[in-house]
């Protein structure tokens, strides 16, 4: 059998991505007959059908989809090579675009970006080659959108969270790689003068969520709300959710004014916690979120390795090492 043509595999991936020969041809800057010819030649080499007609456009057969994954990896590697070549030709920094949700942006990522910036300044004073420096641009984004950004190549890395109660809420396929940085426990945010607050201040023991079953609740984003419902269900009650906001400052103000209680990440409380509030640890190992870095599986750039190492060092000061989720009980 003749060796597979890398370009033909990339073409197959574009057909899968675009849904038709004509759209793939437009994306690649070729004619539709040229695309058809490539596919026919590849099918002849494989001795198997790779593309089938669908109601709208075309679809890949299972073996076609398998080959398309390799085409995607080839295209991704070529894109990385072009980016690195551009940096070398300009004599510029290696540049990475990262995305993360607000609490992670304001803590782990912000501190990492500052460290990288300080290292760049030190290198500049030592007259180090600019190409050895790393430049990072940051944008705030919730995990589902962040995954899409990395998958599409619009971002180089995402620092995201996953809940133990919701193992399937993020769709991370084999083209992406998730590497854990640590565990961020959730806390029950209450007024210090409340019954729960006073009991915690006296005992300093983790709080059972059943203690708040009669309270009004302030939920976060849709994913955080789903997590709250799961945790409350485990504790045997349905929370009375009266308000919803993903703004941590608004959440604190609402709790302070007696409008309810809320679940918040420990990372949020490291930014600021009003003096008349208390963030109680929760007596449920699943009341936590796993934080990690998401990249494209085939992205092996040295700049990403350096970013990963710096994030890992910074995360040690904010996150726990591990937690054991009680998966059989999640339902």
3-state secondary structure (DSSP) of residue 140 = strand
Own/partner contacts of 32-36, CB < 8 Å, gap of 24 or more, are: 35/11
Q: State in Å, rounded, how far the first CA of the chain is from the last one.
A: 49
Residue 82 gets the label, from left (phi > 0), alpha (psi -120 to 50) or beta, of alpha
Kindly state the tokens that stand for 328.
Answer: 């059989």
For the segment 166-200, what is each residue's pLDDT rounded down to a tens digit?
Answer: 988 888 888 899 999 999 999 999 999 999 999 99
- Cβ atoms of 143 and 120 within 8 Å: the answer is no
For residue 326, the model assigns a pLDDT of 40
Of the pLDDT bands very low, low, confident and very high (cuts 50, 70, 90), residue 327 is very low
3-state secondary structure (DSSP) of residue 278 = strand
Nearest alpha carbon to residue 134 among 159, 160, 107, 112: 112
For residue 2, the model assigns a pLDDT of 62
- pLDDT of residue 92 exceeding 90, the answer is no
Kindly state the tokens that stand for 293.
Answer: 């870095």
Distance, in Å, from the CA atom of 181 to the CA atom of 201, rounded to the nearest integer, reads 30
For residue 331, the model assigns a pLDDT of 32
Beta-carbon contacts of residue 279 (< 8 Å; ≥ 6 apart):
187, 188, 189, 264, 266, 269, 273
For residue 172, the model assigns a pLDDT of 87
For the segment 140-153, what is each residue's pLDDT rounded down to a tens digit?
Answer: 999 999 999 998 88
Domains along the chain? Answer: 6-88 (1.10.10.10), 92-182+289-325 (3.40.190.10), 184-288 (3.40.190.10)
Kindly state the tokens that stand for 53.
Answer: 């007609």
For the segment 261-294, what is each residue's pLDDT rounded down to a tens digit?
Answer: 999 999 999 888 999 999 999 999 899 999 999 9
Query: Mean pLDDT, to the nearest integer, of 75-94?
Result: 69
Q: Looking up tokens 């990372």, which residue turns up?
A: 267
Q: What is the DSSP string of 109-135?
A: IHHHHHHHHHHHHHHHHTT--GGG-EE
Tell me which H or E stretch contains 321.
Answer: none
Question: CB-side exposure of 116: number of CA atoms within 13 Å?
Answer: 27
For the segment 210-247, what is each residue's pLDDT rounded down to a tens digit?
Answer: 999 999 999 998 899 999 999 999 999 999 999 999 88
Distance, in Å, from the CA atom of 132 to the CA atom of 91, rounded to the nearest integer, reads 10
Of the pLDDT bands very low, low, confident and very high (cuts 50, 70, 90), residue 72 is confident
Distance, in Å, from the CA atom of 158 to the CA atom of 273, rounded to the nearest integer, reads 26
Indicate the pTM of the whole model.
0.72
Kindly state the tokens that stand for 327.
Answer: 């998966």
Of the pLDDT bands very low, low, confident and very high (cuts 50, 70, 90), residue 125 is low
Kindly state the tokens that stand for 205.
Answer: 């023991």
For residue 302, the model assigns a pLDDT of 85
Query: Mean pLDDT, to the nearest integer, of 154-169?
Result: 91
- Cβ atoms of 286 and 234 within 8 Å: the answer is yes
β-bridge mates for residue 290, sequence order: 162, 183
Q: What percent of the chain has pLDDT over 90?
A: 53
Distance, in Å, from the CA atom of 305 to the CA atom of 22, rounded to the nearest integer, reads 38
Nearest alpha carbon to residue 74 among 297, 294, 303, 302: 297
Average pLDDT value over all residues in the chain: 87
């Amino acid at each position: 059998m003749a060796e597979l043509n890398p370009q033909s595999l990339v073409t197959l991936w574009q057909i899968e991505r675009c849904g038709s020969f004509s759209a793939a041809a437009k994306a690649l800057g070729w004619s539709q007959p040229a695309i058809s010819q490539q596919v026919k030649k590849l099918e002849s080499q494989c001795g198997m059908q790779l593309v089938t007609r669908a109601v709208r456009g075309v679809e890949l057969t299972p073996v076609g989809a398998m080959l398309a994954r390799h085409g995607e990896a080839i295209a991704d590697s070529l894109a990385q090579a072009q980016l690195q070549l551009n940096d070398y030709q300009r004599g510029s920094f290696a540049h990475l675009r990262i995305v993360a949700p607000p609490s992670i942006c304001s803590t782990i990522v912000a501190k990492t970006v500052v460290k990288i910036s300080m290292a760049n300044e030190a290198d500049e004073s030592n007259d180090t080659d600019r190409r050895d420096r790393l430049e990072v641009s940051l944008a705030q984004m919730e995990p589902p959108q962040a995954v899409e950004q990395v998958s599409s190549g619009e971002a180089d890395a995402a620092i995201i969270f996953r809940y133990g109660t919701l193992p399937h809420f993020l769709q991370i396929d084999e083209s992406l790689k998730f590497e854990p940085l640590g565990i961020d426990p959730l806390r029950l945010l209450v007024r210090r003068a409340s019954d729960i607050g006073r009991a915690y201040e006296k005992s300093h023991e983790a709080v059972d969520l059943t203690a708040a079953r009669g309270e009004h609740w302030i939920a976060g984003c849709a994913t955080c709300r789903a997590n709250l419902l799961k945790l409350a269900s485990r504790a045997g009650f349905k929370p009375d959710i009266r308000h919803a906001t993903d703004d941590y400052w608004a959440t604190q103000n609402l709790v302070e004014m007696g409008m309810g209680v809320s679940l918040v990440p420990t990372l949020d409380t490291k930014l600021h916690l009003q003096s008349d509030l208390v963030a109680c640890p929760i007596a449920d190992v699943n009341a936590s979120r796993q934080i990690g870095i998401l990249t494209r599986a085939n992205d092996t750039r040295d700049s990403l390795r350096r970013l990963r190492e710096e994030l890992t060092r910074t995360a040690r000061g904010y996150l726990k090492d591990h937690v054991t989720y009680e998966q059989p009980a999640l339902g």
